[in-house]
Every structure is written in structure tokens, then in C-alpha cells.
Amino acid sequence: MTWFSNSDDSELYAFEPERFLVPPMEEFLRRIFAARWGMILVSAPEYIDLEQILDFLANFSIQSSYYSEFSASKEDFYQLEKDERKIRTIEEVLREAKEAIPDFQITDQVSHTIRIDNIPPRNPEVVFINELNNENISNAIEASVNHRLVVAGIRAEGSFPALQLFREYVKSDHLAAASLMGIIGLNTVGRICPECRIIVEHELGNLEQFMIGSYREKLCSYVGAGCEACSFTGYRGQILIHEGLELTENLRNKILSKMKPRHLRMIAKQEGMSTLLDAAWALSEAGETTLEEVMRTAEETDPGGTEPASI
Ligand SMILES: [Zn+2]
């Protein structure tokens, strides 16, 4: 690295399956991919390559041979042969459906009553959509309530902003709550440059204490002091962090009762969800990222996080 080199590598992050598929995440994925139909969202900011993650999940869903009838019970699993689970694009599914049923209609407007009978039941299929948007949302929902498990990328900073965006796309909390199985939320934090890492003491203000959920007044954490190796930024690359939001019956009911994302997040945490903020916090304590990055994660992923927490 020369004096004049720019820090191109400061934007890099690596998707490492072994860091992603840690036991709680693997269990979570097995549970949500066990659904026979419904919607799984994979949320990530614009700069993250969603296709790479979706490819990984496609392989996971083939290798993971468990599925269950859709039910609230997590214990109710059956085992299937691998080749019974097919991976298709939404275009293939819709073309096939149109060929099978000549009068099959894709409605532009998603209605509250979905005609589940108009596509014959078949082996469980997983449909992947690179990026969910206003144009493809009605097709995606149609497929997700018609015997397909739809795995769709969505551009958001975390599971809860993604959930909010999904509710806006679907325009029906009833349909959003009924179709959604879970959300995999991805984001990154800056990796502290190992060449110039030092410990500093922070004084935490009230807002900082509230946002990171710690009531300590002072906190020791690591930062990069800046050196030639990191072009004096203090950071070298990015670390991918993730969270899994599982739609429990309780959360479905709260969505139906129009609960705000901030409060849904509190309930999910009470139910044991480990959030992006928890991941950022753990990396800060391990000396891999800064408190500044923890604060940024809190701001981006906790919608309305600075509002008073009253339900
Ligand atoms: Zn450095």
C-alpha cells in the first residue's frame, strides 16, 4: 500500500457462509424455509449483492429437506426427498400457471380475497425474486398464497424497515401478516484497521445510552487511529452482519392491529430475536468495529428508535 493509494478496499465486505450460517441463524432458516407457501424477505442496503445471498439461500433450500404444513407449530416437520423441492423464477411459475389454466388472471391490484383454488396444488416450489418492487409485488403475493414459497430481495437497512416497506407495497396489513414467514436482514459495519487499532474511552450521553440500550456513563471501545494501511480512515473493509425476524402468531396479530415497527421490534426482541444492533454491539466489544458504527446501526435499523417507547 503506497502513500497515495486510495482506500478502495474500505467498501469491500465478504459474504462468508460459515459466519452467516451460525446455529441460531441455521435453525431460523430451517424453520422459515419449512413453510410450504408464503413470503420470505431478504433485506439489504443497495450496495450489498443480493443475488449472491439469494443463490446461497437457493442452495440451502434444496439441501434443507424439511418442510411442514403451514401451521403455528414449529415441531410439526416432515421430511421430503431433495428433488421434490424445485427452484423456479416467478416468470416460469406464472407461464406454467397460465398454460395449465387458460383463464388464469394476474390481477394488477392485490385484493383481500385471493382465489387459492385457481392453481392446482403441486409439490412445494420455491420462487426467487431478486428485488421486490411496486411492479412485481402483486405477482409475488399471488404466488406466495398459491402454494409457493417466495423468497424475495428487498432494499432496506434491516428487517423492520423492510417490514414497513413490505406493508406499503402490499397495501394490506391482512395480506402482509398472512403471507410473511420471516425476514433475513443484512447490513454491514466498518472493520477497524488492524494496523492502527487503539482503545479509547467514550462518555455516553442520554441519547446514546438509550439507543444502544446501555446505561453505562463511560465505555471503552476500539477505533482505528488512522495509518497508511487504511489511508488514515481507521477502517479496512466492511463486515457483513445479519438478523432473522420470524413472524410468530403474536407478531402477526400485532401487524393486524397496525402496530408500529418500533413496537414490533420490541416484541420480537422479547421473543428472543437477536438483532443487527446486537451483532454490531458484539463486534464492537470484540474490537472489530467502532461504537460509531454501533450507533449508525441503531439509527438505521430501529425505526423510530429515538421516539419514546410507549405502546
Ligand atoms: Zn490503519
pLDDT digits (tens, 9 = 90+) for 147-167: 788 899 999 999 999 999 999
| pLDDT score for 136 | 87
Cα(40) to ligand 1 centroid in Å equals: 39
- The confidence band for 70, taking pLDDT boundaries of 50, 70 and 90, is very low
The residues pairing with 235 across neighbouring beta strands, listed in sequence order, are: 192
Cα(198) to ligand 1 centroid in Å equals: 10
**What is d(CA 57, CA 157) in angstroms, rounded to the nearest whole number?**
19
| pLDDT digit string, tens, across residues 112-125 | 333 333 444 445 57
DSSP string, 262-309: HHHHHHHHHTTPPPHHHHHHHHHHTTSS-HHHHHHHHHHHSTTTTS--
Beta strands in 91-230 (DSSP E): 125-129, 148-155, 180-192, 197-203, 218-224
Give the residue among 147, 51, 167 at the shortest CA–CA distance from 100: 147
| pLDDT score for 290 | 95
Query: Who has greater pLDDT, 23 or 251?
Result: 251
The DSSP letter of residue 99 is: H
Give the pairing type, strands 66-67 and 78-79: antiparallel
Is the pLDDT assigned to residue 279 strictly greater than 90? Answer: yes
Cα(308) to ligand 1 centroid in Å equals: 38
Cα(236) to ligand 1 centroid in Å equals: 7
Cα(290) to ligand 1 centroid in Å equals: 13
| pLDDT score for 56 | 86
Cα(237) to ligand 1 centroid in Å equals: 11
| pLDDT score for 64 | 61
Cα(231) to ligand 1 centroid in Å equals: 7
- The confidence band for 225, taking pLDDT boundaries of 50, 70 and 90, is very high
**Mean per-residue pLDDT of the chain:** 78
For residue 252, what are the contacts with CB-CB under 8 A and spacing of at least 6?
177, 178, 180
CATH number of 8-301: 3.40.50.300
pLDDT, mean of residues 178-195: 95
**CA 268 centroid distance within chain:** 14
The DSSP letter of residue 13 is: B
C-alpha cell at 40: 420470505
pLDDT, mean of residues 3-20: 62
Q: Which residues surround ligand 1, an ion (CB under 5 A)?
A: 193, 195-196, 224, 227, 229-230
**What is d(CA 281, CA 294) in angstroms, rounded to the nearest whole number?**
6
Instruction: Please give the angle made by the CA atoms of 120, 121 and 122, to the nearest 5 degrees.
Output: 115
Is the pLDDT assigned to residue 106 strictly greater than 60? Answer: no
pTM reported for the whole predicted model: 0.77
